[in-house]
Amino acid sequence: MFIKDALARKPFTVLANRRSVNRHSVASVLVTLLLFVPLHLNAVEKVTIAHSVQLSATIAPLLYGIHRGFFRDENVDLEYRMLRTDIGVKAIINNEIDYLYSAGTAIRASIRGLPIRALSYDLERLPHFLMGRPGVKSASDLRGKIIGVSSFGASGDVAARACLRSMGIDLKKDVTIVSMGSDAVRYNAIKAGSVEAIIVPLPRNILLKKEGFGELCYAGHIFKGAVSGVVATMDRIRNKPEQARAVLRGMLKTSRSLKKDRGDFVDFLVSRIKLERDVADETATVMIDGQTKNGIIEENDLQVVIDAERQLMQVDKPVKVSDVADYSLIREILSKEDRTSPR
């Protein structure tokens, strides 16, 4: 645009048969263009971030932030990619992508000893719901029955077990938990009566309620969990801290905008995630309520999450918060905001 505008003003027209051309002026302007245009064109850095889902409530805040231009404001052209969980972990280790957005995956990878850390957490309440068949209202209705989850050790599995325990159910004696794969498979199973209850992510619970299924438990009311956040390798944290800060600033702007511009976020859920407006409105309420304060899960709460994941993975070795998360960059950003904010 800079070149186009400069040429459109035609401050210098070269005519071969005239001696009146000020060659020195032409050369000066061309040098100026060469010096400044590349800086302008390279100001925005291409950065990739990945998660295992394509369009869902879990990644809606991230996609909304990209849509609103919060990352581009920080000179980051953030591109979202969908990658299967195991492939995403390999990709970030091999520098094929820059960041992950799946915080639960990052915790499990860190517990296994992989050199990745969460730089911030955006959602601290698991947006998963235990849904039962019509007529299922209490623990007694579930005893001796089958409960469907996506895969063992996944966030939904953790949420389902927490919900069942809160209902007084003995996981070893009272129910059979089965791994069933995708959300769609579980949905078809509960409709067919193959299972008595399933764990589902937001907003599938809202759609199931419309069909007469009962909401037995919202996992986010029971405990906090690391759901989504910015995850990077330790090498990237060391070698590209300013890029990481830019991504974190974009996420902070996004999280703060959800509540401030709630109506716009609902419109986004309708247009981009393709939710009905009433579903989008309820989804926005849950997502906004589940946001962390300034991208941080307090260390005591995070340690509880880590210990729960470690037990599921049957890892005896203690794992500290510093083995999983590195809050140094987000704390730098928050400290700078505090120093520069009006008193």
> Given CA atoms 229, 300, 238, 87 in this order, what sign does their dihedral have?
negative
Domain boundary among 168, 188, 221: 221
| Residue 68 shares a structural domain with residue 168 | no
Domain that holds residue 21: 2-41
SS3 205: helix
| Residue 9 shares a structural domain with residue 151 | no
| Residue 266 shares a structural domain with residue 194 | no
In whole angstroms, give the CA distance from residue 38 to residue 139. 65
Reported as a single tens digit per residue, the pLDDT across 150-190 is 888 777 888 899 899 999 999 999 999 999 988 889 999 99
Contacts of 110 (CB under 8 A, 6+ apart): 116, 117, 118, 319, 323, 324
Burial of 294 (0-12, 13-18, 19+ CB in 10 A): middle
| Residue 122 shares a structural domain with residue 244 | yes
Burial of 134 (0-12, 13-18, 19+ CB in 10 A): exposed
| Residue 115 shares a structural domain with residue 243 | yes
Q: Phi and psi of 317, rounded to 5°?
A: -65, 130
Q: What is the pLDDT along the chain (343 residues), one digit of tens a residue?
A: 333 333 344 333 333 444 444 555 544 544 444 444 444 445 899 999 999 877 678 889 999 999 999 999 999 999 999 988 889 999 999 999 999 998 888 898 999 999 999 999 998 888 899 999 999 999 999 999 999 998 887 778 888 998 999 999 999 999 999 999 888 899 999 999 999 999 998 888 999 999 999 999 999 888 777 889 999 999 999 999 999 999 999 999 999 999 999 999 999 999 998 999 999 999 999 999 999 999 999 999 999 889 988 887 889 999 999 999 999 999 999 999 988 877 6
Domain boundary among 201, 221, 241: 221
Number of domains in the chain: 3
| Residue 132 shares a structural domain with residue 121 | no
For residue 214, give the nearest of 296, 110, 316, 138 by alpha carbon: 138
| Residue 237 shares a structural domain with residue 318 | yes
CATH of the domain at 178: 3.40.190.10
| Residue 232 shares a structural domain with residue 327 | yes
| Residue 215 shares a structural domain with residue 239 | no
Q: Is the pTM of this model over 0.85?
A: no
